[in-house]
Structure 1
Amino acid sequence: MDYKTARNFLIAQGKALEAQKNPDAFLIRLKQGQPPIPGQLTSILLALKIVFDAAKESSTLERELVSALYQLALESHLLFEAGRDRGVEWPPLLKEDLGRVRRAVGSIFSGQ
């Protein structure tokens, strides 16, 4: 996966609640109380690593990407908690994976 592909993928996954175009987007699935598609979180984490590596070379990030990253980090956790409160039985490692997403986004923002 190259930077452009990773960027576009993260934007599609992170801005899905606004666009509502892709019913299989990560945040849409969480909102519906459905687990991620197998491999979806792995792809998100890989894309975050690629963006992190590219962002180390830059002092700025584009607004659309930042918005998508923020949504992935914050909304995924909120949707997970809301689902759990409604009685959704999430996959056992989903909470830990969402923590990895938050940490990866934090690393992109901090550069560390």
Structure 2
Amino acid sequence: MDFQTARQFLFHQTIQPQEGQEESFYSRLRQGQPPIPGQVTSLLLALKVVYEGLQNVPALDKDLVQALFILSYESRQLFEAGQKAGVIWPPLLDDDLKRIAAAARSIIKGSWG
């Protein structure tokens, strides 16, 4: 996966779903549905590629920051709201959301981990 593909993937999974794509990560969580198999792995890979591609960039663009915010904060809020509403999430989704948030934070900080 190259930088542009990774960046577009993050947008399609959060703020700019592709037309006819009801299966974006964010939209599934909003509907109280778990991510589709492989979706979290693809998100983590995209986040790592974006991180590596932004190593020498002094500032992040607003759209990317919005996508990172959705992935790191709003996804967690939807997960917790779903739990309170009785949604049965996959057992590893909590840990997956922590890994996604850590990767998003790494992009913002400019250092991995």
Q: Once superposed, what is the RMSD of the aligned Cα atoms?
A: 1.6
Check whether the contact 1:16–1:22 (CA below 8 A) recurs between aligned residues.
no
Deviant stretches of 4+, over 2 Å = 19-22
Structure 2 stretches of 5 or more lacking a match? none
> Distance between the aligned counterparts of 2:16 and 2:71, measured in 1?
10
Following the alignment from structure 2 to structure 1, what is the Cα–Cα distance between the partners of residues 73 and 60? Answer: 18
Partner of 1:64: 63
Q: Distance in 1 between matches of 2:13 and 2:34?
A: 14
In the alignment, the residues of structure 1 paired with residue 76 and residue 107 of structure 2 have an alpha-carbon distance, to the nearest angstrom, of: 18
The number of residues matched between the two structures is 111
Q: Over residues 66-107 of structure 1, what are the superposed CA-to-partner deviations in whole Å (9 max), with x where a residue is unaligned?
A: 111111111110000011001011000000000001100100
Q: 2:72 corresponds to which residue?
A: 73
Partner in structure 2 of residue 55 of structure 1: 54
Instruction: Please list every run of 5 or more consecutive structure 1 residues that lacks an aligned counterpart in the other structure.
Output: none
Counterpart-to-counterpart distance in 2, 1:95 and 1:20: 28
Q: Counterparts of 1:23 and 1:76 in 2: how far apart (Å)?
A: 16
CA separation of 1:21/1:78 partners in 2, compared to 1, >3 Å: closer, same or farther? Answer: farther
> What percent identity do the matched residue pairs reach?
50
For residue 9 of structure 1, report the CA deviation from its aligned partner: 0.6
The answer for the alignment partner of 1:25 in structure 2 is 24
Q: TM-score w.r.t. structure 1 length?
A: 0.93
What aligned pairs does 1:1-112 form with structure 2 within 5 A after superposition? 1-15=1-15, 22-112=21-111
Q: Matched residue of 1:64: which SS?
A: helix
TM-score by length of 2: 0.92
Verify the 8 A CA contact 1:16 1:27 in the aligned structure 2: no
